[in-house]
Amino acid sequence: MYLSSEQERMLDGEMGEVTARLMRLLVRLGDVYGADRMIPVESVQVSGVSYKSIGDPGLAFLRDFADRGARVKTLTFLNPAGMDLENWKELGIPRDFAEKQQAIIDAFRQMGIVVTATCTPYLAGNLPRFREHIAWAESSAVSFANSVIGARTNREGGPSALAAAITGLTPNYGLHLDEARQPDILVEVDAELEYTADFGALGHHVGKIVQNRVPFFRGIPRANTDNLKGLGAAMAASGAVALYHVDGMTPEADGMDTAGLETIHVGREELDETYEALNTGEQADAVITGCPHASLREVIEIARLVEGKTLTRELWVCTSRSTKEVAERMGLDDVIERAGGHIVADTCMVVSPIEDMFATTAVNSGKAATYLPSFCRQKVVFSNVRKLLEEA
């Protein structure tokens, strides 16, 4: 792989031992995947933020890096943490967990990372442009950035994202290149998709079949960005889809050649079967929405649905801190709190320790429904948000 003289100096340790170590990691990665050179990235999203995911070894690693002077070179955001960083006590997070989580956040802050913990950085102040090269780690954010925005990122792991943040570089391979962005399977949809949960069911079904290929969807006449974030998140969870195209909708779909591609058909029957397979529970202890983190439009919708009602179950609406602040300014938090629910920032149902609080969780997210049984030992009720809130 070609390296500029400055990049060679980084590799040789002239910019410190931490930078040299991370450059070695990126060069190795580039060699494995046949990258021709390094490219600068305009932003990074780092995963491995929750204490539940990285534990004491992860915390020790991050502290060590921060203390050795690691500082980011580019705009870097964080994936969700294991708790609401402000309201953790009210939500029943154990103090020991909270202290460790805060120490992780402090290490990231010391490195110059923006301390906003969300899987929707594009809704929280980190919006890439079409064709911009970025290095993001969280799979739903990767999918949204590639597919809906047309930015370019591979699905980074925790260490490679941190390396990109500190060097400002990523190896030029995979989804940074035009050829890897071509579709390789056609998905003909013949079903009405009304709720984001329907898009989640579609994504779960398709992701299982296509795995890490690039699907091209036909037959989706309407979808808003919340529907698309739900679709991408579910495909990234049941498969490893990092890029998809929707005919007439996503920015790179026009002019893509789909002739001769393997084709799969998805109708109501497949969606109903998916709903059935993902429903493993009956009586939910809690309804948790916001996977990926809820947009303001989704928070407004939930506030309208619960206004004047009294919920008999716990309700969390997971979102970014900035969306929560706007919701508070609009009085939506009061509406949701009066009904018995909470707007929860910085975290989500998968990376917080909900297994210590609930046994059955109701969600409207195909991704959450996929992960909750294994990551959080939950039984799952999976349905659309209207139905879940009516039942609650």
Question: What is the token pair recorded at 63?
Answer: 């502290």
In whole angstroms, give the CA distance from residue 282 to residue 383: 11
Is the CB of 173 or the CB of 244 nearer to ligand F3S? 244
Length of the chain: 392
Per CB under 6 A, 232 contacts ligand F3S:
no
Task: List the beta bridge partners of residue 189.
Answer: 266
Binding status of residue 243 toward ligand F3S by CB under 6 A: no
- Stretch 45-84: interaction string toward ligand F3S, x if CB under 6 A: ----------------------------------xx----
Confirm if 334 and 134 have CB atoms less than 8 A apart. no
Task: Give the strand order in the sheet containing 185-190.
Answer: 245-246, 215-218, 185-190, 263-267
Residue 289 exposed, middle or buried by CB count within 10 Å (0-12, 13-18, 19+) = buried
Could you say which of 22, 210, 291, 299 contacts ligand F3S (CB under 6 A)?
Answer: 291
Does 367 help bind ligand F3S (rule: CB under 6 A)?
yes
| 83 and 352 Cβ atoms separated by less than 8 Å | yes
* Residue 119-138 contact track with ligand F3S, rule CB under 6 A, x = bound: x------------------x
Output the smallest distance, CB 99 to ligand F3S, in A: 22
Question: Does 353 participate in binding ligand F3S (rule CB under 6 A)?
Answer: no
User: To the nearest whole angstrom, how small is the minimum distance from the Cβ of residue 215 to ligand F3S?
Assistant: 19
* Residue 293 touching ligand F3S (CB under 6 A): yes
Give the shortest CB-30-to-ligand F3S separation in angstroms. Answer: 27
Q: Which of 107, 351, 354, 381 binds ligand F3S (CB under 6 A)?
A: 351
Task: Give the x/- contact pattern for ligand F3S in 311-330, rule: CB under 6 A.
Answer: -------x------------
* Residue with Cβ nearer ligand F3S (23 or 123): 123
Cis link prior to 292 (omega < 30° from 0)? yes
Beta carbons within 8 Å of 203's beta carbon, 6+ residues apart: 230, 231, 232, 233, 234, 235, 237, 238, 241, 366, 367
Q: Does 292 contact ligand F3S by CB under 6 A?
A: yes
Q: Contact at 8 Å (CB) between 50 and 146?
A: no
Instruction: Kindly list the residues in this chain that would bind ligand F3S in the complex (CB under 6 A).
Output: 79-80, 119, 138, 140, 233, 291-293, 318, 348, 350-351, 367-368, 371
